[in-house]
Structure 1
Amino acid sequence: MEPSVHHFSELFEQLGLPDDPASIEQFIERHAPLSSDIALADAPFWNEAQANFLRDALEEDADWAEVVDHLDASLRKP
């Protein structure tokens, strides 16, 4: 069985956030750049469930990990 590939918009949907392109862009613009000394899941703009999902996805190298890494990279850009 091949691993699932998730799209960026699906991650936003999973996090309970608007998942249309304009909303995603607005979210990133509002929260970037995220300081390099803060782990993505520890950012102050996540609620507890969102933070746990992000942390678990990375720690378990789940099928969401790649798109979570993409979000992390997007939020680190100035």
Structure 2
Amino acid sequence: MSSNETSRAPGVSAVAKADAAQSSVTHNPYYERRWMALGVVVIAQIVILLDATVVNVALSTAQADLGFSDANRQWVITA
């Protein structure tokens, strides 16, 4: 046996052991999509950050063009 090989039980391959271990675990359909969900959340956060940056850069130009004071510069969202 070379140093690269792992010791195994006689007559049982590593693939058979992995298949047996995998078959005993219940299948979760959402497990495969967890990285996609993380990617969607990360992209959404980047878009929010980019939106806030664009608004802050454009706010001074909008203030000069529309002629309102620094006290009225804050954008307030009312529902």
Q: TM-score, normalised by structure 1?
A: 0.23
Q: Which has the higher contact order (CA 8 A, sep 6+)?
A: 1
Q: Which has the larger radius of gyration?
A: 2
Q: TM-score, normalised by structure 2?
A: 0.23
